[in-house]
Amino acid sequence: MTDTYGTYDPSTRPGRKAAMPQEQKFVADDGTELPAFDERYSEDFTGLLYIGALTERFSWLGHEFVIRTLGVDEQLAVAQVTKQYEGMGGGEQLAYATAVVAMATDSVDGEDLPTPIGEDLKLAEWAHRRFSYVKANWFSYTISEVFQRYLSLEDKAAQTVAAMGKAFGPAN
């Protein structure tokens, strides 16, 4: 399966996706076409929610994964979840990758990762439960593959933001 990029609606965080078709494309310095963000990025004020929001669908070893970029709250939740592993050498890196994968994975084979029930659940608690699930149930090979895909998606988002800056010119 080829990589398919879309966007998600950051206002539905954590964990709910709202993919939309993409219209506008941007080009990186090397000439490769980059995915565009949700068209709502151009709206006044709320448009900032959509800059950096991308998803990717890919197949690995017969399973279909959907991952997405993380917002700042989610990145900080990753830091909270992995705090107990600080200073453990390779354990710290594995915990970080596992937490990122847990937060960035929207679905596997069309099924969402287990989501804690409760409206008042704090993001850190939600992140910890997802981290615990991935840590206990996925092998390091899967975590490594999804984490590498996530890093690639983040790189594409950064390239797209840079290309958008060049396309729109300096703000005066």
> What pLDDT, on the 0 to 100 scale, is given for residue 125?
85
Task: Please indicate whether residue 71 or residue 161 has the higher confidence score (pLDDT).
Answer: 71
Q: What is the pTM of this model?
A: 0.75
> What pLDDT, on the 0 to 100 scale, is given for residue 131?
96
Q: With beta carbons less than 8 A apart as the criterion, state whether 7 and 20 touch.
A: yes
72 φ, ψ to 5°? Answer: -60, -45
> What pLDDT, on the 0 to 100 scale, is given for residue 25?
61
> What pLDDT, on the 0 to 100 scale, is given for residue 169?
60
Residues 71-87 have pLDDT tens digits of 999 999 999 999 999 99
> What pLDDT, on the 0 to 100 scale, is given for residue 50?
66
Task: Please indicate whether residue 45 or residue 129 has the higher confidence score (pLDDT).
Answer: 129
- What average pLDDT does range 21-37 have in this prediction? 66
> What pLDDT, on the 0 to 100 scale, is given for residue 42?
58
Tell me the average pLDDT of the chain: 80
Tell me the C-alpha distance between 78 and 100, whole Å: 6
pLDDT tops 80 at residue 166:
no
Residues 83-139 have pLDDT tens digits of 999 998 889 999 999 999 999 999 999 998 877 666 566 888 889 999 999 999 999
Task: Please indicate whether residue 115 or residue 44 has the higher confidence score (pLDDT).
Answer: 115
- What average pLDDT does range 20-44 have in this prediction? 63
Q: Which helix (H) or strand (E) holds 34?
A: strand 33-34
> What pLDDT, on the 0 to 100 scale, is given for residue 93?
95
